[in-house]
Amino acid sequence: MSRQSKLNLKEMDFSQHPLHPYAGQELHMESPQGAAMMDMMPNPYASQALFPGGEASALQSQEYRELHSFMVDGGDRFGVSCLCFDTQELLWMGNQGGHVTSYYGPHLQKYTSFQVHRDDIRQMAPLKDRGILCLTQSSLKLSNRRGLTQFVFTNADMHDMQCMLVTGATTLLIGGHHTKVIELDLTTPRRNKSMQ
């Protein structure tokens, strides 16, 4: 290491920071003894140093813990792409195969299960007393809680859609990887306007 680079490092003086594992120690890597000394020093970032009881005790102190896991509908072929809760405590799950399943109770028993589209479900949003909105890359579908279709909305501007936002009791914004955002009237369902 050159003298100039040592000066630059010394001017920055990161080694004096209290969280630095070797604060206040002078470390020289140019000699074999310095390298051997580095190998003998304990790793301050090892899981045992951070969590004296090991990783298991760290997980036990977290706010949430896994109670149980289960295979979701289509889980052997498709991954889960989105989750949401509705106001009646159903957990809605959309997968990469365009399938939607709802679960209820502490043991997550299946309530309904239906196909929305052939593409993955990008996002879901519950509408109070109306059902569940499901956004795919090219369509928006409202289904009631039993899976019956209320409406399907498609538009020439809907391609590679990614997200939606319910902005009022009857309005919704839809956007994706392009320059337009679509405002939709949920009562008709018709496009109110497109914004760039």
Q: Which residue has the higher pLDDT, 53 or 81?
A: 81
pLDDT, tens digit, for every residue of 152-162?
Answer: 999 888 889 99
DSSP 8-state assignment for residue 60? H
Model pLDDT, residue 32: 54
> Contact at 8 Å (CB) between 124 and 134?
yes
Say if residue 86's pLDDT is above 70: yes
Whether residue 184 is found in the same domain as residue 88: yes
Classified as helix, coil or strand, 155 is coil
pTM for this entry? 0.64
Whether residue 43 is found in the same domain as residue 84: no
Across 65-75, average pLDDT: 80
pLDDT, tens digit, for every residue of 16-66?
Answer: 444 444 445 554 445 555 555 555 555 554 444 444 555 555 555 667 777
Model pLDDT, residue 55: 54
Across 7-13, average pLDDT: 45
Whether residue 27 is found in the same domain as residue 89: no
In a domain, 176, yes or no: yes
| CATH number where 94 lies | 2.130.10.10
Whether residue 161 is found in the same domain as residue 90: yes
Say if residue 4's pLDDT is above 70: no
Whether residue 103 is found in the same domain as residue 19: no
Model pLDDT, residue 191: 81
Number of domains the chain contains = 2
In a domain, 154, yes or no: yes
- Domain residues for 53? 3-60
Whether residue 46 is found in the same domain as residue 87: no
In a domain, 150, yes or no: yes
Window from 19-23, 175-179, 187-191 with minimum mean pLDDT? 19-23
Model pLDDT, residue 46: 47
pLDDT, tens digit, for every residue of 103-147?
Answer: 998 888 999 999 999 989 999 999 988 899 999 999 999 999 899
Distances (CA, A) of 116 to 39, 43, 122, 177, 195: 57, 51, 11, 22, 27
Across the chain, where does the E strand assignment appear?
80-85, 91-95, 99-104, 109-115, 123-127, 131-135, 140-143, 149-153, 161-166, 171-176, 181-185, 190-195
